[in-house]
Structure 1
C-alpha cells in the first residue's frame, strides 16, 4: 500500500497535538493545573504553592523547565510547585483572572485568613535554588513551641485529639516538620520541645534526641516513633492516629498503634491549672515602661479611648492564654500616647484594640494585625515572635517627654526572659538547600528532620 505523505503528516499532527500541547509530561514532578482544578489544588490548599503561568511555545518557559522541575522534585511533600498552560483555551479564563500578560509569570500562593490565600509575584532568581529558597520560607508554621512553663496548658488543650511532639536540638521547626503539621492541620496538634527543656524531657521519659512521639488523646498512652526521621515514614506513623487534613487517609488499616515498650513515654496527668487574675496592668510612662521590660519582650495593648475597656473574654485570652505563659502584657489608652509615639509604632486612632510586641533593649517592635478576640490568631502571633519567624521593625528614636501616667515601673507583672534565637544544631548529616548556583548537581529534598 502506498501512503500519501501529506495525509500521513496531517494525521500525525492531529494525533500528536494533545501530547505536545502541555510542556510538562505526566511523569513530571510539577503539579499540572487546569481551570477546573485550580481552586481545589491551589486556592483551597493548606500548603504554600508556586505557580508558573506559561505557554508551550515560549522560549523563556522552555529554558526555565529544567530548573522548575528540579525545584518541584526538591520540594516534594513540603510545598506545591505547579504550572498551568495559558495557551490552552480551556485555561485562558484562569490566566486572565490573574492578569497574566507575559510568559513565564510565576506567582506564589500562601494560605491566609478566612480561607483566602495571599498572592504575590515571584521576583527571585529563576533557578532551582532561588525558587526552593524562597518557597521554603513560605511554608506555614503551625508548630507550637513547648517549654516547662507551657507544657501543662498544651496538654490540657484539646485533650481528646491527637498531639505529636518532637524533642530536638533545633530551636526552630524544620521545613519537613512544618509541612507535616500542615498535612494534619485541624486533626493533630504539633509541638516541638528543645533539648534544654530538661523538665519536659523528664516528664515524658525522653532520654535522647531526636525523639518523636504521638499522644493519641484522652487517657491513651503515648507512642514513640522508632523509624527514620523522614517525611513519608512519619506521615504514615501519624496517620495511624488521625486522617490528614487533605488527601486520602494514611495507614487507615492500622488505626491502633502499638504502645512503646518504655512505659515512661506516657505523659502523666498534668496538675490542675491555677486560676489567674485576668487584669492586665496599666502601662507606666514610656520611659518607665521600657525600664520595666528591660531586656525582655513586652506586649503593649493599646485601647482606642478612655471609654473603652477590654471585655472579659479579651482579658482572659490575653492574660491567661498568652501573657502568663509568654510575655508580660500592659494596656494603655491611645489618648495618653503622644502623636510621635503613635506614628513611630504605626498606631492609628480607631475603635479597635491594637497590639505591639517590643524589645526596648534591642530596639525593635512587631505589629499584630489579627483579631484581638481570636485566641487562635493570638497564639500563632505569639509563637511566631518566640521562634523569630516574624518581621521586626526598628523602633524610631524618641525625645524624652513627660507622661500623664505614673512614672513608677510595674512590679507585679511576670517578665520572662526574651527567648534567644539560636542557630539550630544538626542531629544528623543535614540535607540543606543547595547553595551553589544553577545547574544544581544534587537537589536535596528536605526529607529529613
Structure 2
C-alpha cells in the first residue's frame, strides 16, 4: 500500500503519544469501554447491555470476536454490545470490581429500579444468534398497550407531553419500537394499538397498518409519519415533538403492561449510548486504517469539551462514523507545521478535517459541529466528489521534507515487549481437551438488523 510520504510524515509528527490498539478496531460495531466511561455508558444507560471483559492475548476472546461483532452489528441502535480490555492497567480496577476471573467473561446489565441495573453473567451459547436473541429478551419495555377500555385514560394522562402511537397487526412491541421508547423515555410516551381495536381505529381514523403518528400534546391535532418505518427516520420525526415532562407530570408516567419499571430521572430525549470518538492512534495504525479510504480528524481545543453528551459534536459524529472512520486529537499535540498545512486555527471550538493520506488532499468542515444536517451534507458532498479538495501543501524544509516534531516532543518509546501472564493476574480460561469451536457463527441464519427494523 502506497501512502503520500508528506502526509504520513506529518501525521507521524502530529501524534506524539501513540496509543496501544485493543482487540476491536475503531470501525468495530462493538462499543469500546474504559474505566472512565463505564459508568456513563453502561450503569447510567436506559438500554440493556452485554459487556465482554477480555484480554487481547486471550485465545478464546479472539475466537469469540467474529460472532460478538456480528451480534453488535445486528443490535446497533437497539441495545448495547460492549467490551472492555482488562489487560489495560487503567481498566483493571473496573474488571476486578465485577469479579472477572477468566477471559472472556460476558456480563449482562439490565436497567432496574432506582437507576441501578441488575447484573448477572451471560450463560448462553457464544454465538451471534444466541447473544442477539438473549439481548432482545433483556430489552426494557416502556410501550403502553392501548385498547378501547384504556384509550380515554391514556389520552388524559400527561396531556402536556407528546405521545407516539403505533397502529399495527402485531400483538407485542418489536425491538425497534422498544428501542425508540427507551431513547425518548421521559420526554415522549409510546403506545401501541392492535388492528383489532376497531373503536380506537375509528377514533383516530386509521385504516392501514402499520400507521405511526404523534399527538403533540394539549389540543394539537395528530401528526402522521409518512416516512420509511426505520429507526433513524422515526427518531428524527419524534425528536421534533420531544420535550421533558413538567414537574406536575413527572409523577404520573404511564407504565407498560409488560414492564412496570420507570426511570428515576428523565434522560435526554436522544440516544446516549454511542461510543466516543477514538483517540488518534500511532501512525502505523492510522495509516493501516485510513490508507485505503478517507478519514475524518476531529481536532479538539486544549480545554477539551465534553464529546460524550448527546448535544455535543460527538453525538452527530457517531451517527456519521459508518461512512468514514473518525479519530480525535488534541490541538496542542499537533506541530505548528501540521496546523498550518491543514489551515487549523487556535480555537476553543472543535475543528474537523477529512483527508486522504494516499491521495494527498484534505477538506475542511466549516459548518456547525452541532448541526447533524450540515454535517451530513458535508459528508455526502465528499462521497459524491462535489466539494473542492485542497491539496496538502509541501511542508517547510528542503525537498519538501516533512516537518520535524516540536522541540518539546517526547522521545519515541521503546516497543513494549509482551510479558507472560503472571499467576496472580487474571488467567485465561483453560481450553478443554478437545477444543470446541466457539467463534464461528452457526449455520442457522442470524437475525439480521433489517428484521429488527420491521414494525
| TM-score, L = length of structure 2 | 0.53
Q: Deviations over 1:132-178 (max 9, x none)?
A: 00000001000000000000000000001000000000000001000
Give the structure 2 partner of residue 110 of structure 1: 110
* Aligned mates of 1:128, 1:150 — CA distance in 2: 39
Give the structure 2 partner of residue 48 of structure 1: 48
* Aligned mates of 2:178, 2:244 — CA distance in 1: 14
Q: Is the 8 A contact 1:168 1:211 kept in 2?
A: yes
Secondary structure of 1:124's match? Answer: coil
State the Cα distance separating 1:448 from its structure 2 match: 2.1
Q: Deviations over 1:96-152 (max 9, x none)?
A: 100101000000000000000000100000000010000000010000000000000
Secondary structure of 1:160's match? Answer: coil
* Aligned mates of 1:81, 1:383 — CA distance in 2: 24
* Aligned mates of 1:376, 1:230 — CA distance in 2: 26
State the Cα distance separating 1:437 from its structure 2 match: 5.9
Secondary structure of 1:91's match? Answer: helix
- Map 1:362-381 → 2, pairs under 5 A: 379-380=255-256
Structure 1: 4+ residue segments shifted above 6 A: none
Give the structure 1 partner of residue 283 of structure 2: none
Cα distance, 1:114–1:234 mapped onto 2, change above 3 Å: same
Q: Is the 8 A contact 2:86 2:95 kept in 1?
A: yes
Give the structure 2 partner of residue 138 of structure 1: 138
| TM-score, L = length of structure 1 | 0.54
- Map 1:287-326 → 2, pairs under 5 A: none
* Aligned mates of 2:65, 2:444 — CA distance in 1: 13
- Map 1:181-192 → 2, pairs under 5 A: 181-192=181-192
* Aligned mates of 1:161, 1:88 — CA distance in 2: 45
* Aligned mates of 1:132, 1:16 — CA distance in 2: 40
- Map 1:250-269 → 2, pairs under 5 A: none
Q: Is the 8 A contact 1:185 1:244 kept in 2?
A: no
Q: Which runs of 5+ in 1 are unaligned?
A: 1-11, 246-373, 386-435
Secondary structure of 2:77's match? Answer: coil
* Aligned mates of 2:209, 2:447 — CA distance in 1: 27
Give the structure 1 partner of residue 101 of structure 2: 101
State the Cα distance separating 1:243 from its structure 2 match: 5.6
* Aligned mates of 1:28, 1:87 — CA distance in 2: 19
Give the structure 1 partner of residue 448 of structure 2: 444
Cα distance, 1:92–1:442 mapped onto 2, change above 3 Å: same
Q: Is the 8 A contact 2:67 2:441 kept in 1?
A: no
Q: Deviations over 1:215-270 (max 9, x none)?
A: 0111111100011111111111101111699xxxxxxxxxxxxxxxxxxxxxxxxx
* Aligned mates of 1:179, 1:375 — CA distance in 2: 21
Cα distance, 1:442–1:101 mapped onto 2, change above 3 Å: closer
Secondary structure of 1:213's match? Answer: strand
Cα distance, 1:201–1:439 mapped onto 2, change above 3 Å: same
Cα distance, 1:184–1:199 mapped onto 2, change above 3 Å: same
Secondary structure of 1:47's match? Answer: coil
Give the structure 1 partner of residue 218 of structure 2: 218
Give the structure 2 partner of residue 122 of structure 1: 122
* Aligned mates of 1:17, 1:52 — CA distance in 2: 27
Cα distance, 1:244–1:36 mapped onto 2, change above 3 Å: farther
Cα distance, 1:227–1:376 mapped onto 2, change above 3 Å: closer
Cα distance, 1:96–1:74 mapped onto 2, change above 3 Å: same
1:178 to 2:178 alignment = yes
Q: Is the 8 A contact 1:184 1:243 kept in 2?
A: no
Q: Is the 8 A contact 1:227 1:233 kept in 2?
A: yes
* Aligned mates of 1:66, 1:139 — CA distance in 2: 23
Q: Deviations over 1:19-55 (max 9, x none)?
A: 6541001110000100000000000000000000000
Give the structure 2 partner of residue 427 of structure 1: none
Cα distance, 1:140–1:88 mapped onto 2, change above 3 Å: same
Q: Is the 8 A contact 1:140 1:182 kept in 2?
A: yes
* Aligned mates of 1:95, 1:132 — CA distance in 2: 23
Ranked by relative contact order (alpha carbons within 8 Å, sequence separation 6 or more), the top structure is 2
Secondary structure of 1:23's match? Answer: coil
Secondary structure of 1:166's match? Answer: strand
Secondary structure of 2:102's match? Answer: coil
1:69 to 2:75 alignment = no
Secondary structure of 1:228's match? Answer: coil
1:229 to 2:233 alignment = no
Q: Is the 8 A contact 1:72 1:81 kept in 2?
A: yes
1:201 to 2:205 alignment = no
User: Which one has the largest radius of gyration?
Assistant: 1
Q: Is the 8 A contact 1:183 1:244 kept in 2?
A: no
Query: What root-mean-square deviation, in Å, do the aligned CA atoms of Structure 1 and Structure 2 show?
Result: 2.5
* Aligned mates of 2:114, 2:54 — CA distance in 1: 29
State the Cα distance separating 1:383 from its structure 2 match: 4.0
